[in-house]
Amino acid sequence: MIYANPNTEGSLVNFKERYENFIGGEWVPPVKGQYLEVKSPLTGKVFTSVARSTDEDIELALDAAHAAKHDWAHSSTTTRANILNKIANRIEENLEMIAVAETWDNGKAVRETLNADIPLVVDHFRYFAGAIRAQQGAISEIDDDTVAYHFHEPIGVVGQIIPWNFPLLMAAWKIAPALAAGNVIVMKPAEQTPASMMILLELIQDLIPKGVLNIVNGIGAETGKSLATNPRINKVAFTGSTGVGRLIMQYATENIIPVTLELGGKSPNIFFPDVMEKDDEFLDKAIEGLVLFALNSGEICTCPSRALIHEDIYEEFMKRALERIKAIKMGNPLDTETMMGAQASQQQLDKIMSYMKIGKDEGATILIGGDQKMLDGDLAGGYYVSPTVFKGSNKMRIFQEEIFGPVLSVTTFKTFEEAMEIANDTEFGLGAGVWSRNMDQAYRAVRAIQAGRVWTNTYHQYPAHAAFGGYKKSGIGRENHLMMLEHYQQTKCMLVSYKQTPMGFF
């Protein structure tokens, strides 16, 4: 089926002409009255606008957050968990509508928002609702008379800045653990994709105590910087590039606050020769594993954007993979039959297309794609790129730089050692994939790869309760797991002496 475009007859979603900031439970216009236009990547046309916030707006949001901080921090974990569960339920009840809004805002195919993004958002809130109720402090019995009690306490007011590739899922990854742990939030969504968050907020605003979650829109260099440098935040969490990640860390040094960062990747996806030992479902799964570079139009930090294929199977394996890539159906992202949608912005389209030239200039061979995809009608102004595969070598820019598009760079290896060397020859260490029928070999590969998440005989699964985060320049911290709670908590140690006599020093 094809969902109707938002704001047309029969659509599940109607965006307002303009959205204010969400501060203290109210919709508050930006102090300076400036707004940013938001375009849909499907059509390239403006469909709404959001606040272009300044220091003054961040101060308002922090006023609201600080006013709400005490009560939220002292609410019971049951209260917080119940609210997170209610948010999850409300999202689930409106899943289709939210999925359409997300597709319209970001460009990704609706089959992904319906089956991955939004169900994962729902599950994430439920997971942290459960995790916070199950979390325990720790007691250390130092000696017969001395006991250290360790309590988890909220950090306080946290600043969160998220990217445009999964506008709602990245928001959920940050909001759910922070709220569960008793923090209040000031969040800045990405300026490219702020609109689906507005739809979501309208839906759940009655469930959240005033000031506990504040959303302020604007440009990174203005609103983002204002938030990240403000002495009234106690922690900052960021997902984005290494350049900004380093900047966020610099800002954090000014106030000595903790940061968690989820940065880039250039994930190797390694296919050992035994995947082709049989022509069976496992081989079929492995071929799909290579083609997953096209998921989310390639706009994922863990995009398996470097395929390392053993030279003995390269010809036959790639032949079959290319057939599968050729079968990727592009078209209206709101059509449930469409397999790959639009890129998120004109700028992203331009960058991806510049890599087509870079790859060719460096001597890589295009095996498929390489062109901008032109669609008809309404979609003629949208940002579409054909899934593309380059064959080349790991020192090329297309192997070293994160393209953030449906562009795969393929190379071959001869030995296990060479595969590991190529896999680790990158500044990043976020994701990786290992495909082998021999689990001993897979195990050794997984342990040798410097990356936080190594999918083994699978790829691109993001279940809650599986830790996600980077080695090397891919970041600090582990999201998607209860260990994220501690990234949003202080440890209070209460050290008690039960001895009735003095220590004897004075």
Partner 1 sequence: MEKLVATEKAIQVIEVLKRKYGSLLFEQSSGCCDGTAPMCFQADGHYISSQLILVGEMAGVPYYIDKNQNEYLKNMQIIVDVMDGPGASFSLESTEGVGFIMHSKILE
Q: Which residues are catalytic?
A: 262, 301
In angstroms, what is the minimal distance from the CB of 406 to partner 1?
Answer: 14
Alpha-carbon distance of 50 to 35, in angstroms, equals 5
Place of tokens 């095996």: 367
Other C-beta atoms closer than 10 Å to the C-beta of 334 total 23
- The per-residue DSSP string of 333-354 comes to TTBTT-SB---S-HHHHHHHHH
Q: How far is the CB of 404 from partner 1 (least distance, A)?
A: 5
Q: Judge contact between 210 and 68, C-beta under 8 A.
A: yes
Q: Is 255 in the site for partner 1 (CB under 8 A)?
A: no
Distance CA 400, CA 425 (A): 8
Residue 373 CA to residue 396 CA, distance in Å, equals: 25
Q: Of the ranges 13-21, 146-154, 194-202, 216-224, which one interacts with partner 1 (CB under 8 A)?
A: 216-224
Residues 223-227: contacts with CB under 8 Å, at least 24 apart:
223/52, 223/53, 223/54, 223/57, 223/58, 223/188, 224/161, 224/188, 225/251, 226/53, 226/54, 226/55, 226/58, 227/58, 227/159, 227/161, 227/186, 227/188
Verify binding: residue 243, partner 1, rule CB under 8 A. Answer: yes
Alpha helices in 107-259 (DSSP H): 110-112, 118-134, 167-180, 195-204, 225-228, 242-255
Q: Smallest gap, in angstroms, from Cβ of residue 224 to partner 1?
A: 6
Q: Are 469 and 452 in contact (CB under 8 A)?
A: yes
Shortest Cβ 52–partner 1 spacing (Å)? 9
Decide whether 219 or 476 has the Cβ nearer to partner 1.
219
Q: Report in angstroms how near the CB of residue 409 gets to partner 1 at its nearest.
A: 13
Rank residues 165 and 412 by Cβ distance to partner 1 and give the closer one.
165
Q: For the segment 420-459, give every residue that binds partner 1 (CB under 8 A).
A: 427-428
Stretch that binds partner 1, among 279-287, 328-336, 339-347, 490-498 (CB under 8 A): 339-347
Identity of the residue, 113 or 267, whose beta carbon is nearer to partner 1 in the bound complex:
267
Q: Which of 363, 47, 324 is nearest to 192 (CA)?
A: 47
Do the strands 157-161 and 45-51 form a parallel or antiparallel pair, or are they unpaired? unpaired
30 binds partner 1, rule: CB under 8 A? no
- In degrees, rounded to 5, the angle at the alpha carbon of residue 254 between the alpha carbons of residues 253 and 257 is 55
Nearest residue (CB) to partner 1, 263 versus 307: 263
Q: Could you give the 3-state DSSP secondary structure of residue 469?
A: coil
Q: Which residues contact 133 (CB under 8 A, 6 or more apart)?
A: 77, 78, 81
Count interface residues toward partner 1 (CB under 8 A). Answer: 51
Residue 247 in the binding site for partner 1 (CB under 8 A): yes
Residue 300 CA to residue 362 CA, distance in Å, equals: 24
Residue 472 φ then ψ, to 5°: 50, -135
Q: With binding defined as CB under 8 A, does residue 299 bind partner 1?
A: yes
Residues 376-415 as x/- pattern, contact with partner 1 by CB under 8 A: -------------------xxx--xxxxx-----------
Q: Which is nearer to partner 1, 398 or 410 (CB)?
A: 398
Among 341, 19, 379, smallest CA distance to 165 is for 341
Q: Pick out residues in 119-178 that bind partner 1 (CB under 8 A).
A: 163-165
Question: What is the x/- site pattern for partner 1, positions 343-382, by CB under 8 A?
Answer: -xxxxx-xx--x---x--xx--------------------
**Which is closer to partner 1, CB of 102 or CB of 123?**
102
The CB-of-175 to partner 1 minimum distance in angstroms stands at 19
Site string for partner 1, 263-282 (x = CB under 8 A): xxxx----------------
301 binds partner 1 (CB under 8 A): yes
Q: Least CB distance from residue 294 to partner 1, whole Å? A: 17
Point out which span in 12-20, 89-97, 233-241, 326-334 binds partner 1 (CB under 8 A): 233-241
- Per the rule left: phi > 0, alpha: psi between -120 and 50, beta: everything else, 57 is alpha
Among 94, 239, 260, 338, binds partner 1 (CB under 8 A): 239
Residue from 472, 500, 496 nearest 139 by CA: 496
**Which residues contact partner 1 by CB under 8 A?**
163-165, 190-192, 219-222, 224-225, 239-244, 246-247, 250, 253, 263-266, 299, 301, 344-348, 350-351, 354, 358, 361-362, 395-397, 400-404, 427-428, 473-474
